[in-house]
Amino acid sequence: MSSVTYAEKIPNNVNLVGDRTLQRALEHWQPRFLDWWKSMGPADFQGADVYLRTAISVDADGWAQYGAVKMPDYRWGIFLADPVANRTIGFGDQMGAPVWQQVPGEYRSTLRRLIVTQGDTEPASVEQQRMLGHTCPSLYDLRNLFQINVEEGRHLWAMVYLLHAYFGRDGREEAEELLSRHSGDADKPRILTTFNEPISDWLSLYCFTYFTDRDGKYQLKSLAESAFDPLSRTCRFMLTEEAHHMFVGETGLGRVIRRSLEVMKELNTDDPAKIRAHGAIDLQTIQKYLNFWCSSSLDLFGNEISSNSAANFANGLKGRPDESQYDDHVLREKTFSLRTPQGEESVPMLNALNEVMRESYLKDCEIGLKRWNRQIERAGHSLRLTLPAPSFRRTIGAWAGLPVDPQGKLLDKSTYERMLHEWIPSEGDRAFVHSLMKRVAEPGKMAGWIAPPDRGINNLPVEYEYVKLH
């Protein structure tokens, strides 16, 4: 079951040959996907040989095979984690009943919307990042960017498979729409705001992969709990790919920080202006980028109080990430204490699940900060990087539009507006970071604002030529 068929036009482990109609429909979508990739994927690198990993099985160990591939030749396919025998619904009002192999009629439109919303973010991020290759800080980083891009392309395949296989004509139409909306497009933008901002510098890419891909991880984890078994299995395999994206974010930010610490030591200063003049990024600026990306990613979890997420949970469509770690899986009796601008409020737990998810996401975000702060401490500096308060700079929910500082304190509007450029990147900060973005494409060489990684890819040295440009 877990081995992947590569002999076919569309690599898969879902026995696509056994369903001719589905196979034909997906083979019809495939050239459109490739057209999209060529016009909206990484600009100007379609002919480069990239050292990529490709899935060969969905087992936890040894799912990947590495080799030089031109990106348009990447074998995008359909891979589901192996089924769990006798799996039952793990939460909600139908807890304990067998999981569904087909979509129940009454949940059809909700499930379709969940899949489309997830699916829309995958190609969106490829579009957002399409110009970044021009300013890569090293070939190692360039390769990692492209690895992420092809995997986000595969995640689109994963969602399109579900739409085609389980949602009939509307599913096929939605699959077309996933290729016709574009990030930042004035007429047909991507569904979620965060996915319509171009990512034009690598510090933002590392923040995006640290914070926004981690939101993706939490969404996938909650969908992996779903009673709709094909969705669960699809998301379980996507999570194994997603881990690499967050690795790029965490190690990327760690390397930027390490480089600033080196420059601080070399110049014996913690003056941001001197650090910048030396071509590194000061810790204060890094903090601003963390504030910006953390706060915009927090919005992706939605309103604190949500009847939709309550219904999705009660009906078994979407659970909590790592549902099995909780004692109560029905939540009809529980309450949640919610912090609002009016004070603490007790609300039914079922309605507060977006907030529950946001809290566990923030805990996960803390892990990298602890690591980076240890680096800073070891270097003998007292500054500590922090996550902004969840109420900072929110655009949806109870705190939307309120003048709250990164410590969570409610201010008056004019103070907030005056201070904002000290908390998130100002025009000047962005211009400075942009000024550092110059392509470094000699094997083993790193841009001056980032330290080399501890190790290369798949036991190869850091100096390996991970992308061969032609």
Nearer to Fe ion, 122 or 127 (CB): 122
Q: Does 217 bind Fe ion (CB under 5 A)?
A: no
Spatial neighbors of 451 by CB under 8 A, at least 6 apart, are 255, 256, 258, 259, 262
**Distance, CA of 139 to chain centre:** 22
Encoded one letter per residue, x for contact with Fe ion by CB under 5 A and - for no contact, window 39-78 reads ----------------------------------------
Please choose, out of 147-155, 169-177, 414-422, 460-468, the segment that lies near Fe ion by the rule CB under 5 A.
Answer: 147-155
Spatial neighbors of 109 by CB under 8 A, at least 6 apart, are none
Alpha-carbon gap, residue 444 to 441, rounded angstroms? 8
DSSP bridge partners of 410: 404
Nearer to Fe ion, 155 or 393 (CB): 155
Please choose, out of 1-9, 133-141, 153-161, 270-278, the segment that lies near Fe ion by the rule CB under 5 A.
Answer: 153-161
Please choose, out of 14-22, 118-126, 187-195, 277-285, the segment that lies near Fe ion by the rule CB under 5 A.
Answer: 118-126
Nearer to Fe ion, 91 or 208 (CB): 208
CB of 125 to Fe ion, least distance (A): 7
Nearer to Fe ion, 152 or 282 (CB): 152
Please choose, out of 52-60, 119-127, 286-294, 295-303, the segment that lies near Fe ion by the rule CB under 5 A.
Answer: 119-127
Q: Which of 154, 155, 181, 214 binds Fe ion (CB under 5 A)?
A: 155
Nearer to Fe ion, 125 or 291 (CB): 125
Alpha-carbon gap, residue 409 to 392, rounded angstroms? 9
CB of 213 to Fe ion, least distance (A): 4
DSSP bridge partners of 467: 50
Q: Running DSSP on this structure, what letter comes out for residue 88?
A: B
Nearer to Fe ion, 157 or 336 (CB): 157
CB of 455 to Fe ion, least distance (A): 21
Helix 283-298 / helix 229-267 crossing angle, nearest 10 deg: 160
Q: Which of 181, 190, 244, 245 binds Fe ion (CB under 5 A)?
A: 245
456 burial (CB, 10 Å; 0-12 / 13-18 / 19+) is middle
Do the Cβ atoms of 21 and 165 come closer than 8 Å? no
**What is the arrangement of strands in the sheet containing 467-468, beginning at the earlier edge strand?**
64-70, 49-55, 467-468
Closest CA to 70 of 159, 151, 146: 146
Residues 195 to 214: which contact Fe ion by CB under 5 A? 213
Closest CA to 218 of 247, 238, 197, 198: 238
CB of 438 to Fe ion, least distance (A): 26
Q: Could you tell me the two tokens for 415?
A: 């103070």
Name the residues that contact Fe ion, by CB under 5 A: 122, 152, 155, 213, 242, 245
